[in-house]
């Protein structure tokens, strides 16, 4: 069971891409460039129930299992990395919990509404915590000398990519152009980091 848990980070990284794609197939005329990922589970969407069922809930579990593996098994097997690994594991668990919250509290159907519902506000704040958790985690790698220099540089570039496309997302959101594209690229760098870090863990 513990050996299987070591692969949950890799599985989650792949699952999120496949899950979003599958959910979008049941949402007529859904645009990955113009619409947010969360619009798949928004109030009144054709996939309001389907999207969290195949994305948020299983993904949240996978993140939490991987975080628990890092804090428990991996850190005990690598005593020199116990502090950074524990912090990273905690951030992955936080990411998983917030993934559940985002699934349980849908965003509003109109992402540009000036008066968001309580559910949408919770969804948005939870999404912000998700973003921060996967900025802190790679930042820990950057400043931890126990990790290979290649992984540290990779983590740095992933944070830069996330920041750059988050900035582009802000502009696209104001212009109402292609925020979905920049959201995917921004979060994509975080998921790419998780995938590579997970490979490092199981190597």
Q: Within a domain: residue 77?
A: yes
pLDDT tens-digit profile, the chain (203 residues):
557 899 999 999 999 999 999 999 999 999 999 999 999 999 999 999 999 999 999 999 999 999 999 999 888 888 888 999 999 999 999 999 999 999 999 999 999 999 999 999 999 999 999 999 999 999 999 999 999 999 999 999 999 999 999 999 999 999 999 999 999 999 999 999 999 999 999 98
Which domain covers residue 11, as residue numbers?
2-26+36-202
159 inside domain: yes
DSSP result, 128-159 = HHHHHHHHHHHHHHHT-TTS-HHHHHHHHHHH
- Structural domain contains residue 31: no
Q: Does a structural domain hold residue 195?
A: yes
Contacts for 39-44 with beta carbons within 8 Å, 24 or more apart? 39/107, 39/109, 39/111, 39/180, 41/102, 41/103, 41/106, 41/107, 42/106, 42/107, 42/108, 42/109, 42/111, 43/106, 43/107, 43/108, 43/109, 43/117, 43/119, 44/109
pTM: 0.96
Query: Domain tally for the chain?
Result: 1
> In 39-109, which ranges are continuous DSSP H helix?
50-54, 56-69, 75-77, 82-104
């Amino acid at each position: 069971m513990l050996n299987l848990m070591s692969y949950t980070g890799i599985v989650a990284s792949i699952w999120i891409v496949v899950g979003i794609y599958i959910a979008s197939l049941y949402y007529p005329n859904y645009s990955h460039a113009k619409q947010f990922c969360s619009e798949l589970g928004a109030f009144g969407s054709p996939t309001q129930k389907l999207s969290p069922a195949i994305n948020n809930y299983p993904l949240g579990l996978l993140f939490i299992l991987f975080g628990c593996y890092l804090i428990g098994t991996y850190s005990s097997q690598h005593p020199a990395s116990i502090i950074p690994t524990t912090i990273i594991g905690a951030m992955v668990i936080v990411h998983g919990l917030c993934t559940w919250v985002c699934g349980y509290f849908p965003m509003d159907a109109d992402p540009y509404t000036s008066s968001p519902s309580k559910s949408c506000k919770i969804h948005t704040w939870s999404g912000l915590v998700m973003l921060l958790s996967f900025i802190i985690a790679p930042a820990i790698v950057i400043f931890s000398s126990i990790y290979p220099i290649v992984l540290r540089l990779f983590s740095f570039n992933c944070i830069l990519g996330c920041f750059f496309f988050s900035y582009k997302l802000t502009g696209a959101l104001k212009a109402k152009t292609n925020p979905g594209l920049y959201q995917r690229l921004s979060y994509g760098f975080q998921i790419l980091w998780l995938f590579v870090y997970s490979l490092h863990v199981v190597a």
